[in-house]
Structure 1
Amino acid sequence: MSGVPDGVGVLGGGRMGAGIAHAFLLAGARVTVVERDDEQADAAAARIRESIRRSVDRGATQRSFATLDEALSLATDPAAFAECALVVEAVPEDRGLKIDALRRVAASVGPETVLASNTSSISIDDLAGGLPAPERFLGLHFFNPVPASLLVEVVMGAETAPSLEGVARGWVDAIGKTAVVVRDAPGFASSRLGVALGLEAIRMLEEGVASAADIDAALELGYRHPVGPLRTTDIVGLDVRLGIAEELHAKLGDRFEPPALLRRMVAEGRLGRKSGRGFYEWSDQ
């Protein structure tokens, strides 16, 4: 297979799922998004349409809004994925939730459909355990915000067919992003490195080494990181970062133990941009 898949399914139309749908729509794919009920499906449709309209308005695509919108469909039943060549699971980062979601999708698609998880830290082999065809399953880890990001992490499980590496690279290339291929390992490559940096930045803030702004500036100006680790944590979501840290702590040991400050902020509902407040104030953005 080359170029975009014949049809792309996305399970979950939240921020990540909407971004994945946006990327494939702009590349010319027909995209079906499945949500759990009509209310969530309507919210996902509005989210995706706003995103593609912005892309049209700023000239990021030659396709018209009407053309892109016509290629998008919403549903509440995974049976809508029956004709898709690729289905990407993009539900929240919870092992049990993902396993259940993937099993429901697997029961609804054809024998040639490739299933992928957008997990940022959960083992692909763990998720593949209950699937009827683990050789057609892999990780496609997109980054937030998907429309602006340049990277997709392709995660090959122990049972993933080797031929899927080239197929996945082609799909990633077709949506204008770069693929890095990693084997299934705790945190893969990106989450493991990103969380290690983010947790150390949180410890530095906890210890009073410097302010959040100055810690971020040290990485942005000294190492040319486009966004510092604390602002990145706000964008990703402190709850998401805590979940990944707990997963890595269980698998890799104490160097990934979440700082008390991170746990406290999550407990207080200071989740970053999505709640309006994290290490920074986001209420005016």
Structure 2
Amino acid sequence: MKRIGVIGAGVMGTGVAQNLAAVGLESVLVDVDDATLERARQQIQRGARMSRLLSPAGANGARSPEPNLDLIHYTTDYTELGDVDFVVENITEKWDLKSAIYPRLDAICAPGVVFAANTSAISITRLASLTTRPERVLGMHFMNPVPMKPAVEVIRGWHTSDETVRTAQELLARMGKEGIVVADAPGFVSNRVLMLTVNEAVYLVQDGVAPAADVDRVFKSCFGHPMGPLETADLIGLDTILHSVEVLYESFNDSKYRPCPLLRKMVDAGLYGRKSGQGFYTYS
């Protein structure tokens, strides 16, 4: 694998492209317009500098070199994915948006190319059914920020082959990550637990049990978590949290997954967290 397609230039897509560049892999980063791609370029440049500053210094005090960001090709033209060796799709967690991509990729990419859906809740089996290569489709649920996280959930769909899993694991190993294989079930492992935790933490704020900062302090001080659930929600994006909870609610038809009204109201108000500058906390 030398050239990787990355669909979606949001928080996750930019993180994946940055991580690929850091290990010397070329990527084709695709999104709908040039303005989005320019924002992605600036975000990747900032992220690369920050990752370098946060990386441990060597014995001589020197930092690792910055990744070659020229390895990232920005485009709005999906046909430029015709020669990629692997695709990581990072579209927003909405079925109508994600589902439109897979038949398109299927027609453009070579038959042996693996499609990896970076999703926190949507069924891999259902996405794979939109292609002529369901055995070559799986999930790769990256965590945010992508370059800093050492592990990825790898989700095996109903038809996903062993070879496809091995191919994904090889790519992740080159990116410096461990792939943890789980079954295709709504929310998989991480988000089936995390989204319930975040949603319930929002209920605590809505019900006046404690302000956001104190909810997070309990988790950090009492349990040793590096971030509280509401800080985590702001980092992920409250809109993404809401989409994920809605998928769980729809998938299980269980009232325990009902989205908190305060979460929905904040998303309607455009308070998405770090990426909008305001969520449960304010960011400059």
TM-score with structure 2 length normalisation? 0.91
1:260–1:174 CA distance, 2 compared to 1 (3 A)? same
Query: 2:13 maps to which residue?
Result: 17
8 Å Cα contact 1:11-1:35 kept in structure 2 = yes
**Hey, what's the Cα distance between the residues in 1 that align with 2:157 and 2:257?**
23
2:141 is aligned with 1:129: no
Query: 2:42 maps to which residue?
Result: 46
Query: 1:278 maps to which residue?
Result: 279
**Cα distance, 1:239 vs structure 2:** 1.4
Which deviations, in whole Å up to 9, do the C-alpha atoms of 1:34-78 show, x marking residues without a partner?
12233333332333233334445666774555xx13322122212
- Between stretches 249-258 and 38-47, larger displacement belongs to 38-47
Residue aligned with 1:130, SS: coil
1:136–1:216 CA distance, 2 compared to 1 (3 A)? same
1:137–1:228 CA distance, 2 compared to 1 (3 A)? same
**Hey, what's the Cα distance between the residues in 2 that align with 1:40 and 1:239?**
18
Which deviations, in whole Å up to 9, do the C-alpha atoms of 1:114-156 show, x marking residues without a partner?
1111111111111112111111111111111112222211011
**Hey, what's the Cα distance between the residues in 2 that align with 1:126 and 1:220?**
37
User: Which sections of structure 2, spanning at least 5 residues, go unmatched?
Assistant: 57-62
Query: 1:28 maps to which residue?
Result: 24
**Hey, what's the Cα distance between the residues in 1 that align with 2:123 and 2:189?**
12
**Cα distance, 1:208 vs structure 2:** 1.9
**Hey, what's the Cα distance between the residues in 1 that align with 2:46 and 2:94?**
27
1:44–1:251 CA distance, 2 compared to 1 (3 A)? same
TM-score with structure 1 length normalisation? 0.91
8 Å Cα contact 1:89-1:102 kept in structure 2 = no
Runs of 4+ in 1 over 3 A off after TM superposition: 53-65
**Hey, what's the Cα distance between the residues in 2 that align with 1:54 and 1:258?**
34
8 Å Cα contact 2:135-2:160 kept in structure 1 = yes
Query: 2:267 maps to which residue?
Result: 266
**Cα distance, 1:244 vs structure 2:** 0.8
| 1:1-285 equivalences in 2 (<5 Å) | 5-56=1-52, 62-65=64-67, 68-252=68-252, 253-282=254-283, 284=284
Which deviations, in whole Å up to 9, do the C-alpha atoms of 1:166-222 show, x marking residues without a partner?
222222222112221111101111111110111121122222222211111111121
Look up the equivalent residue of 1:158 and give its one-letter code: W
1:59–1:248 CA distance, 2 compared to 1 (3 A)? closer
8 Å Cα contact 1:139-1:155 kept in structure 2 = yes
8 Å Cα contact 2:51-2:148 kept in structure 1 = no
1:43–1:262 CA distance, 2 compared to 1 (3 A)? closer
8 Å Cα contact 2:199-2:260 kept in structure 1 = yes
**Hey, what's the Cα distance between the residues in 2 that align with 1:212 and 1:55?**
28
Look up the equivalent residue of 1:15 and give its one-letter code: V
**Hey, what's the Cα distance between the residues in 2 that align with 1:268 and 1:134?**
39
**Hey, what's the Cα distance between the residues in 1 that align with 2:50 and 2:214?**
33
Look up the equivalent residue of 1:94 and give its one-letter code: K
8 Å Cα contact 1:81-1:109 kept in structure 2 = yes
8 Å Cα contact 1:202-1:230 kept in structure 2 = yes
8 Å Cα contact 2:48-2:66 kept in structure 1 = no
User: Which sections of structure 1, spanning at least 5 residues, go unmatched?
Assistant: none
